[in-house]
Amino acid sequence: MSLDRAELQDSARRMFGEAGLAPDRRQIWSLIAEMGWLGLAAPEELGGLGQGRDALGVLYLELGRVLAPGPVIPALLAVEAVSRSELLADRAAWIARLVAGEVVTGSLKGGAVEIRVADTGGYVVSGQLSAAPDADEAGHLLAWSADGDFCALIPLQQANVVIEPRPTWDASRRLFDVVFRGAQLGGELVLARGDAAADLVRDLQEHLMLALAADGVGGANAALEMTVEYLQTRKQFGRPLAMFQALKHRCADLKTQIVAAEALFWSVAEDRHGGAQDPLLRAAAAKSYAAQVFHAVSEEAIQLHGGIGLTAEHPCHLFLKRALLNEALAVGGDAWDAAIGAEALERLGRAG
Amino acid sequence: MTASVQTEANLEALRKEFRAWLEANAPHGWREACTQQDAFGDTQRNWYRKLVAAGYATPHWPQGWPGGGRSLAEQKVIYEEIARADAPRLILYFVSTYHAASTLLEWGTPEQQAKYLPRILEGEVWCQGFSEPNAGSDLAAVSTRAERRGDKYVVNGQKIWSTMAQYADRCLLLTRTDSGGAKQAGLTFLLLDMKAKGVEARPINQITGDEEFAEVFLDDVEIPVEDRLGGEGEGWAVAQSTLSSERGLTLLELSERLRGGLWRLATAIQKQGRSKDQGLLRDFGKLSTKVEACCALADQFLQKRIAGQEQVGDASFIKLHYARTLRDFVGLGVRVSGLEGQYFAPLTYGGGQETGNWMVDFMNSYNWSIAGGSDEVQRNIIAERVLGMPREPKGWQL
């Protein structure tokens, strides 16, 4: 079956629009589950809708626009991991549980844990992951090992797992640290091992980057629209603020940055222009750029709103907080920007 | 309907064929030779002649004209391959093959088209006489007078920023035939013979030492009425076709060249022994991401054009983003080259935007933030026509 991207966007925008900005997390989560959108990218033979990354892109963009809370990103990562697993026995059943809204979390920071074979059979997990949304309500956590040899769903309801809330300035995401102190992992929950795990983990990291890129582009668009609307309404010196060229030009520059970040996002999500650049770095570039643009737009949004933008009742700050959090997620931009630069230097330089 | 079917296979076949042709025919060593201004004209003329003969100079012309009838996707392939081969851009023929041709095709009578389009293919150089000392971003303020006398117009006035006018055979001239009423209403579009009596083109010495633009002085110049494009008073509408003739498409080629030119910056960083400088790598990484975004934007623009979904402001986004990215690019080049980059090095005439002569490249980058609708004009278009912000009130008078 083919799902038209514009139709998906329309229905997502309509539904999320009704729920409003920064909606109630339970309400939005059940909306998403009811629509079956968690199964967008799962293969049809496993009960999914068989769509590609571009459909997920539409969803992430729309979620970003309304600053949606909830564990959508790790849930969709888990759907991808389960769909591609060659080891999991009951994939269709797992997809059904995930699509129905059973919470599986994962680290938005993209970190890894240590997984080793237990003396008693099965595996033992140790280490700490940060920025796992809604981990307190999750049955499992999608994680991979630092050596790239494992990807697994780790059960959280056990004594050797400590789940610690980490309230962030951005209240639209409920983030937790998850500490594994020799937690038990049954072999039946291992999704991939060896080369298959390395490939899968790489793709999941790419997916995470793209999700955050789309989130940033969506948020930036909404923040700018809100700002332009405010400038149209607010009058000073006998005319709407939107008439002042000094302000118009700033808005035009922001819009141009958003359009560029969006074009880059789609070119990566649709895998056009694959070219010479490493795919993970391309996704990292899209994320880093979108996060910078979201930061710039939400920073300017407060400035252009003036005093009202500093009040807690006005939503300006919600955009700023989410934007600055996004910059720190999935490995901060600095490290990736340097990695992108180093790779390009190596590939293009003729004096090395 | 054009004969060329747009399958990936056909595009790849074109790419292969053109790449092979370029290997045999693209000029070599022109960057070194073109540090002499004389060599620039010869290089351009020879390169243009070859492209015309092989049918690659005018892929954007309609079906039925020599070299024409290529789809946008095919044009893109041709641009990409010319950029990849590091062959010169045809800047001497840019106005003739794009602006003049598309304006003639849209507004010219069959007689005018039959007379002038073949001459363009034979190598006539055209320039554009729009801007004036007091009509830059405010183009409709043009004041060069054209007075009708019998079957002629007699023209007096001054044009400025005419690209390559000192080489030109003919000029797209925007004149004022009526000073009453709205300023857009009294304009008339004429085709000027640059060899006519009373025409003088004086090159403008630029900050780079280059002379890409000229002033054109018009003193009682006679232009036959048959060389008018469109009706008297329709000049503004005709000029809009000229200005939109290559709207955004050039940026496809320029974005590709930007990506293709990143190696110069990478090499400069390596030569300075700074391959491990994390701060610099970060800046280089950010720049290469902006360049990728530029190419993605250009590609998206092309796809929208092909699908007939181009929207107001699309061309402004890409021009503005390109101009900012180019400035970042060449600015990083200046920074990396340090004091060494401040020592004088002669420019390459017609060398393009990213030659690795960073000071020249930096100064040249203003061509894209000022010419062809400045960054500020693009911002107005985006703010007013995309974001729907109101225009500033009129009424301030000198």
- Domain limits, chain B: 8-89, 125-234, 249-386
pLDDT bracket for residue A1 (50, 70, 90): very low
| CA distance, residue A221 to nearest chain B CA (Å) | 11
The class (CATH top level) of A196-347 is mainly alpha
| CA distance, residue A171 to nearest chain B CA (Å) | 29
> What pLDDT score was predicted for residue B4?
46
- Cβ contact A350–B282 (<8 Å): no
Chain A 202-241, CB below 8 Å of chain B: which residues? 224, 228, 231-232, 239-240
| Pick from B358, B352, B306, B354: nearest CA to B337 | B358
Burial of A312 from C-beta contacts in 10 A (0-12 / 13-18 / 19+):
exposed
End-to-end CA distance of chain A, in Å? 50
SS3 (DSSP) at A161: strand
**Report field, pTM of the whole predicted structure over 0.80:** yes
| Res. A85: pLDDT tops 90 | yes
CA dist B12 and B309 (Å) reads 25
SS3 (DSSP) at A85: coil
- Cβ contact B389–A228 (<8 Å): yes
> What pLDDT score was predicted for residue A274?
55
Contacts of A245 in chain B (CB under 8 A): 380, 392
Contacts of A256 in chain B (CB under 8 A): 316-317, 320-321, 324, 382
> What pLDDT score was predicted for residue B258?
94
> What pLDDT score was predicted for residue B394?
77
Give the CATH fold of the B249-386 domain. Butyryl-CoA Dehydrogenase, subunit A; domain 3 (1.20.140)
- Cβ contact A348–B262 (<8 Å): yes
| CA distance, residue A164 to nearest chain B CA (Å) | 34
Average pLDDT over residues A107-123: 92
> What pLDDT score was predicted for residue B80?
86
> What pLDDT score was predicted for residue A4?
81
A188 touches chain B (CB under 8 A): no
Q: What is the DSSP string of B163-176?
A: ETGGG-SEEEEEEE
Annotation says B211 is catalytic: no
- Cβ contact B289–A243 (<8 Å): no
Task: Give the DSSP letter of residue A253.
Answer: H
How much of chain B exceeds pLDDT 90, in percent? 81
Give the CATH fold of the B125-234 domain. Butyryl-CoA Dehydrogenase, subunit A; domain 2 (2.40.110)
The answer to whether the CB of B273 falls within 8 A of the CB of A245 is: no
Instruction: Give the side-chain half-sphere CA count within 13 A for A27.
Output: 11
SS3 (DSSP) at B18: helix
Q: What are the tokens at B45?
A: 């003329």
Tens of pLDDT along B291-329? 999 999 999 998 898 899 999 999 999 999 999 999 999
State which H helix or E strand residue B201 sits in: strand B199-203
Looking at this protein, which amino acid is placed at residue B116? Y
- Cβ contact A341–B285 (<8 Å): yes
- Residue to substitute from B290, B386, B389, B392, interface A, most A β-carbons within 10 A: B389
The answer to whether the CB of B84 falls within 8 A of the CB of B78 is: no
Of the listed B81, B246, B253, B256, which one is catalytic?
B246
- Cβ contact B285–A342 (<8 Å): yes
As a whole number of Å, the CA-based R_g of chain B is 22
Contacts of B322 in chain A (CB under 8 A): none
Say which of A266, A340, A349 has its CB closest to residue B266: A349
Number of H helices, E strands in chain B: 15, 8
Output A210 or B7, whichever has higher pLDDT: A210
Q: CA-based angle B263:B265:B267, to the nearest 5?
A: 65
Output A226 or B245, whichever has higher pLDDT: A226
- Residue to substitute from B276, B289, B301, B391, interface A, most A β-carbons within 10 A: B289
> What pLDDT score was predicted for residue A335?
87
- Cβ contact A249–B389 (<8 Å): no
A1 touches chain B (CB under 8 A): no
- Cβ contact A288–B289 (<8 Å): yes
Give B354's contacts (C-beta < 8 A, 6+ positions apart): B257, B258, B261, B264, B265, B326, B329, B330, B333, B361
Say which of B269, B320, B393 has its CB closest to residue A345: B269
Average pLDDT over residues B93-98: 95
CA dist A163 and A161 (Å) reads 6
Provide the H-helix boundaries in A36-111: 53-65, 72-84, 91-100
- Give 3-state DSSP helix, strand, coil % of chain B, rounded to 5: 50, 15, 35
Contacts of A340 in chain B (CB under 8 A): 285-286, 288-289
Contacts of B333 in chain A (CB under 8 A): none
Output B53 or B396, whichever has higher pLDDT: B53
| Res. A343: pLDDT tops 90 | yes
A 10 A CB-CB count for B344 gives 9
Tens of pLDDT along B334-366? 999 999 999 999 999 988 899 999 999 999 999
- Residue to substitute from A304, A345, A350, interface B, most B β-carbons within 10 A: A345
> What pLDDT score was predicted for residue A3?
66
pLDDT bracket for residue B3 (50, 70, 90): very low
Looking at this protein, which amino acid is placed at residue A44? E
A 10 A CB-CB count for B158 gives 16
Looking at this protein, which amino acid is placed at residue B73? A
CA dist A217 and A214 (Å) reads 5
> What pLDDT score was predicted for residue A276?
72
The full length of chain A comes to 352
- Residue to substitute from B76, B267, B290, B292, interface A, most A β-carbons within 10 A: B292
> How much is the mean pLDDT over chain A?
94
Say which of B267, B293, B383 has its CB closest to residue A260: B293
pLDDT bracket for residue B250 (50, 70, 90): confident
- Cβ contact A272–B288 (<8 Å): no
Give me the total of CB pairs closer than 8 Å, taking one residue from chain A and one from chain B: 157
| Res. B6: pLDDT tops 80 | no
CA dist A153 and A138 (Å) reads 11
- Cβ contact A255–B382 (<8 Å): yes
A30 touches chain B (CB under 8 A): no
> What pLDDT score was predicted for residue A114?
96
CA dist A224 and A299 (Å) reads 10
CA dist B247 and B17 (Å) reads 28
Average pLDDT over residues B142-151: 97
A78 touches chain B (CB under 8 A): no
- Give 3-state DSSP helix, strand, coil % of chain A, rounded to 5: 60, 15, 25
SS3 (DSSP) at B202: strand
- Cβ contact B292–A239 (<8 Å): no
- Cβ contact B289–A252 (<8 Å): no
Q: What is the largest CA-CA distance in chain A?
A: 78
- Cβ contact B383–A248 (<8 Å): yes
End-to-end CA distance of chain B, in Å? 53
Burial of B216 from C-beta contacts in 10 A (0-12 / 13-18 / 19+):
buried
SS3 (DSSP) at B43: helix
Q: Would you list the domain boundaries of chain A?
A: 196-347
Q: How are beta strands B170-176 and B126-129 bridged, if at all? A: parallel
With CA atoms as reference, the chain A residue closest to B385 would be A252
Return phi, psi of residue A146, to 5°: -60, -30
Contacts of B267 in chain A (CB under 8 A): 348-351
A 10 A CB-CB count for B368 gives 22
